[in-house]
């Protein structure tokens, strides 16, 4: 589904990713862990096509399509979803309006007419329940005045409504209390299917107690330095990252 080969990329001419390889198959959940500054968030942004990030070498394909040749919105419509670590506010644009515009953009890609407002309202309200967000949030501006936890739940809601093929969660667990963490985990687990894959970017093993990964990778200095199953995450939790960095060095 997602295939990354020898990817070099970064910001302002400095490579942060330096020869990254990764293959994600449909139905899999991959966790990417690593110390601060190892390039975890950069990976998500490079794949999503954030302006300012440039790829200097390597390739990345999603569902057989060359991601790097596509515009940001085209990558999204192809089925790539990135849950942001720090979601921005868009004052005055209601969450409902934003969600519907996003869903309609995806539908248009599939040659479908815009969803009618009534059924969408119903769907959005149900999704609110899943992510444990008061439906009143649908009427508020996008992330406007939301707490950190509310913003993350709102990201989750967008993910559920957009039904991506590949979802990348960029430190979605950071700053969440245990209840919110469980909500996120429940949402992800409910969406797991043989057609869909997840990449969880995280600093801590904690999230993986609730979402069981098929593969765990350790990112250091812009490359994946070790891959394993979920036991690797437990080992990292016990020993930290330093021993790996030493090993690489």
Partner 1 sequence: MSQEHIDQAISREYSAGFISAIESDTLPPGLDEEVICWISHKKGEPDWLLQWRLEAYRGFRQMEEPTWAHVHYPPIDLEAVSYYSSPRSMKDGPKSLDEVDPELLATYAKLGIPLHEQEVLAGVAVDAVFDSVSVATTFRGKLAEAGVIFCPISEAVHSHPELVRKYLGTVVPRKDNYYAALNSAVFSDGSFVYIPKGVRCPMELSTYFRINEAKTGQFERTLIIADEGSHVSYLEGCTAPMRDENQLHAAVVELVALDGAQIKYSTVQNWYPGDAQGRGGIYNFVTKRGVAHRDAKISWTQVETGSAVTWKYPSCILRGDNSVGEFYSVALTNNFQQADTGTKMIHLGKNTRSTIISKGISAGASSNAYRGLVRMSPKAAGARNYTQCDSLLIGDRCAAHTFPYIESRNPSAVVEHEATTSKVSEDQLYLCQQRGLDAEKAVSMIVNGFCKEVFKELPMEFAVEAGKLLEVSLEGSVG
| Interaction site with partner 1 (CB under 8 A) | 48-52, 71-73, 76-77, 81-82, 84, 87-88, 90-94, 97-98, 101-102, 105-106, 109, 141-142, 158, 162
What is 168-198 written as a DSSP string?
EEESTTTT--HHHHHHHHHHHHHH--TT-EE
The nearest distance, CB 154 to partner 1, in angstroms, is 11
- Closer residue to partner 1, CB minimum distance, 76 or 181: 76
Q: Which residue has the tokens 């959940």?
A: 29
- Closer residue to partner 1, CB minimum distance, 83 or 220: 83
Q: Which residue has the tokens 């429940």?
A: 186
Residue 94: how many CB atoms within 10 A of its CB? 16
The nearest distance, CB 16 to partner 1, in angstroms, is 17
Q: Token pair of 27, please?
A: 């139905």
The nearest distance, CB 146 to partner 1, in angstroms, is 13
Nearest in space to 175 (alpha carbons), one of 143, 153, 192: 153
Q: How many residues does the chain have?
A: 249
The nearest distance, CB 96 to partner 1, in angstroms, is 12
- Closer residue to partner 1, CB minimum distance, 171 or 220: 171
- Closer residue to partner 1, CB minimum distance, 67 or 218: 67
- Closer residue to partner 1, CB minimum distance, 142 or 218: 142
Give the integer Cα–Cα distance in Å for 219 and 39.
Answer: 7
- Angle at the Cα of 198 from the Cα atoms of 38 and 97, rounded to 5 degrees: 105
Nearest in space to 226 (alpha carbons), one of 202, 200, 245: 245
The nearest distance, CB 231 to partner 1, in angstroms, is 33
């Amino acid at each position: 589904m997602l295939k990354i080969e020898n990817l070099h990329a970064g910001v302002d001419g400095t490579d942060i990713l330096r020869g990254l390889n990764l293959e994600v198959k449909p139905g899999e959940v991959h966790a990417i862990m690593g110390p601060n500054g190892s390039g975890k968030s950069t990976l998500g942004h490079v794949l999503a096509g954030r302006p300012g990030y440039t790829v200097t070498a390597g390739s990345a394909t999603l569902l057989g399509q060359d991601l790097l040749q596509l515009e940001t919105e085209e990558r999204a419509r192809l089925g790539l979803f990135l849950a942001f670590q720090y979601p921005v506010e868009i004052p005055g644009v209601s969450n409902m309006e934003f969600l519907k515009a996003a869903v309609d953009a995806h539908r248009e890609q599939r040659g479908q007419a815009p969803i009618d407002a009534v059924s969408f309202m119903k769907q959005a309200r149900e999704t609110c329940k899943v992510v444990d967000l008061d439906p009143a949030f649908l009427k508020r501006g996008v992330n406007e005045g939301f707490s950190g936890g509310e913003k993350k739940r709102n990201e989750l809601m967008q993910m559920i409504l957009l039904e991506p093929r590949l979802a990348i969660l960029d430190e979605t667990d950071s700053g969440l209390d245990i209840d919110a963490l469980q909500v996120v985990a429940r949402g992800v687990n409910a969406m797991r299917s043989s057609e869909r894959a997840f990449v969880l970017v995280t600093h801590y093993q904690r999230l993986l107690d609730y979402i069981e990964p098929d593969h765990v990778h350790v990112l250091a200095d812009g490359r994946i330095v070790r891959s394993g199953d979920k036991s690797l995450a437990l080992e990292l939790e016990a020993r930290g990252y330093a021993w790996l960095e030493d090993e690489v060095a």
